[in-house]
Amino acid sequence: MKGTRSNDWMVGLAILGAMVLVVASTLYLQQADLGEKRTGISARFRDVGNLQVGNVVVIRGVRSGKVRSIELAEDGWVLVDMDLDEGIRLPVDPVALIQSSSLLGEFQALIAARSGVPHIREVETQLSDTLNAPPQALPGAVLPDIAQLTTVAGGIAGNVASVAERVRTAFDDSAARELRTSIRNFTTLSHDLANAVRKQSRNLDSIAVDVRSSMDALSQTSASLRNTASRVDTATSGGEIANIIKETELATANLRAASARINDLMISLERSESNLRGVIGKADSVMGKVNRGEGSLGLLINDQSLYRNSDSLLVDLRTLINDFRKDPKRYFALRVF
Amino acid sequence: MIETVGRVTREAVEAFGQAGKLTAEAARSSRDFKTWWPNFTQQARKLGVDSLPIGILIALFTGVVLALLASYSFTGWVPRYLVGTLVQKTVMMELAPVLTGLALAGRVGANIAAEIGTMRVTEQVDALETLSFDPIAYLVVPRVLAGIVMFPVVVGVAMFVGLGAGWVASMTLLDLSSQEFLKGARYFFDAFDVRYGLVKSASFGFAVTVLGCMNGLRARGGAQGVGASATSAVVQSAVMILVLDAFWAMVWLLGRAR
């Protein structure tokens, strides 16, 4: 009988002890709160992502409660009930945001002031979606999680890589060489143009001086004419009018000559410009062909093998001549018999 | 060879059939409360309470090794607090039930088979029948019930000890803070983990005791027959534990994973 009682006692103790250990461990690991008062709040979302019952509720980074329940509501809403720890005060104009709390796919509910919400168009749209919203529920939104962000970042990286590849293809070594050549040609062209303009400017200066002197002569003539006219009535002696007419004719001739020179200069300038354009066009075409490796010059410049072959040919020829000098019999066999 | 294959298959099916038949008889005999109840606590003490030291010892070393193994595996960007997660999940859901079950299969299964086998070959079982005692109610029911009740008790203690051992090992050997370990242990903890381990261990207790009783009752001959029945009980129990482990994983974990 004593043995039976001892067995009962031991078995009962083992069972109760194991139950206490298991229950206590479970409550401890679940962070269960026995008897603690909590405040319940609700938030409405269009979608709750991976949020699950038991996930933590965070206010300004501090764990402040848990998600109690998640259930579908009318008009396409999802209602999330949360329990907040005792004494927790909500921020002004609060909103609930669902965000991932780690790279491992864990989510949490964040309660923040509306003014502190990140300026993301989708989030703002979700928060402002108040039509038919359940009453007494905080507006809620889901922040983009790391998977979405990495997807977008991946797309951007792909586009950048594509653009970089295209740039690399378009701007290869030959393109860079051609660009350098074009810049060099343009420099030469601008230099030639500056010289031409300088020369024509000098000519124009000369023409202007001539025109000015002609105008002076004309004005002198005009003054003389005026004087002559004033004296026509009084002057009776001959020869003065004839002189005036002669001077006028001389001035007119000078003016005509100056005009002719200006015309010649303009024609010359136009011809020079046309020639210059032709020269530039031909030079550009020639340089293009040379750069593309067309023609002998192009091949000589671009195809190094040609140079090497020519060089090699000269070396061979020189060797041949030396060898011929050393031992002509190898090349000329004079047989008498 | 064909004959051998046929014989092995027949014996395996027979063993299943006999185990099923014994289970049905035990369920029927469990109504004979007065016969099996006086023996229940004695068997519960022998199968459960006396097995606690071996369960605790296994869990102790398992927890330490798991913490070290997790720390060795989690390198690079893997957060160190996941050591706690791995220890908690692995100890509670797998290692505590299975390793304890295998240890008890050797200790309890062999003990039951040897005890009942000896009674069988010495005709004590026949004597019970002669005295109008139901041998199933007297021998099998208290052992099976004790196995079902006490295996979870031993496994529950092993869970606690294994988790604690991993916790202490993480702090002392791995320079992991207590907060980090607890963060990991709590992060993915679900009460289902405990439920899963305990239910699984109850099924192990049932299998080990039923197979032990069945092999004991089948014992023939002398000491050699008793030894053979004990060996069979241990082997069959170990295999059955692994089969049940896979069964519960497929029934419960597969559904939850989806």
Instruction: Verify whether the Cβ–Cβ distance A21 to B156 is below 8 Å.
Output: yes
Put simply, whether the predicted model's pTM sits higher than 0.90 gets the answer: no
Instruction: Verify whether the Cβ–Cβ distance A29 to B189 is below 8 Å.
Output: yes
Using alpha carbons, list the distances in angstroms from residue B81 to A64, A100, A239, B74, B244: 21, 18, 127, 10, 31
B41: contact with A, CB 8 A cutoff: yes
Distance CA B152, CA B160 (A): 12
Instruction: Give the nearest partner residue to A14 out of B48, B88, B163, using CB atoms.
Output: B48
Instruction: Verify whether the Cβ–Cβ distance B191 to A11 is below 8 Å.
Output: no
* 3-class DSSP assignment, residue A337: coil
| Strand A62-72 versus strand A56-59 pairing type | antiparallel
DSSP string, A277-317: HHHHHHHHHHHHHHHHT-HHHHHHHH-HHHHHHHHHHHHHH
Instruction: Verify whether the Cβ–Cβ distance A7 to B154 is below 8 Å.
Output: no
Using alpha carbons, list the distances in angstroms from residue A299 to A183, A281, B103: 22, 21, 88
Residue A67 contacts residue A82 (beta carbons within 8 Å): yes
Please, what is the angle between helix A2-29 and helix B191-217, to 10°? 150
What does each of the 337 residues of chain A score in pLDDT, given as a tens digit? 556 678 888 888 888 998 998 888 888 887 776 667 778 899 988 888 888 887 889 998 888 888 888 999 888 889 999 988 888 888 888 899 988 877 666 788 899 998 888 888 888 888 887 666 777 888 888 887 666 666 677 777 788 788 777 777 776 777 778 878 887 887 888 788 888 878 877 887 787 788 778 778 887 877 877 776 677 656 555 566 677 778 878 888 888 887 788 888 778 878 877 887 887 788 778 778 777 777 766 766 676 676 677 678 788 888 888 887 777 666 655 454 4
Q: Which DSSP helix (H) or strand (E) runs through A165? A: helix A146-170
- Window A:135-154, CB contacts with B under 8 Å: none
**C-alpha gyration radius of chain A:** 51
Candidates B40, B42, B82, B199, partner chain A, best to mutate (most A CBs within 10 A):
B42
Give the residue extent of every domain in chain B. 2-257
Residue A92 contacts residue A77 (beta carbons within 8 Å): no
| Strand A62-72 versus strand A78-85 pairing type | antiparallel
Beta bridge partners of A71: A79
Contacts of B189 in chain A (CB under 8 A): 29-30
Residue B220 contacts residue B213 (beta carbons within 8 Å): no
Distance CA B125, CA B116 (A): 8
Distance CA A55, CA A48 (A): 12
Contacts of A17 in chain B (CB under 8 A): 157
Give the residue extent of every domain in chain A. 1-32, 38-148, 173-292, 299-328
A14: contact with B, CB 8 A cutoff: yes
Q: Give the dihedral of Cα atoms B165, B167, B168, B170; nearest 10 deg.
A: 120
The nearest CA of chain A is from the CA of B48 a distance in Å of 8
Residue B241 contacts residue B207 (beta carbons within 8 Å): yes
Coarse DSSP helix, strand, coil percentages of chain B, rounded to the nearest 5 percent: 85, 0, 15
Instruction: Verify whether the Cβ–Cβ distance A106 to B185 is below 8 Å.
Output: no
Instruction: Verify whether the Cβ–Cβ distance A30 to B45 is below 8 Å.
Output: no
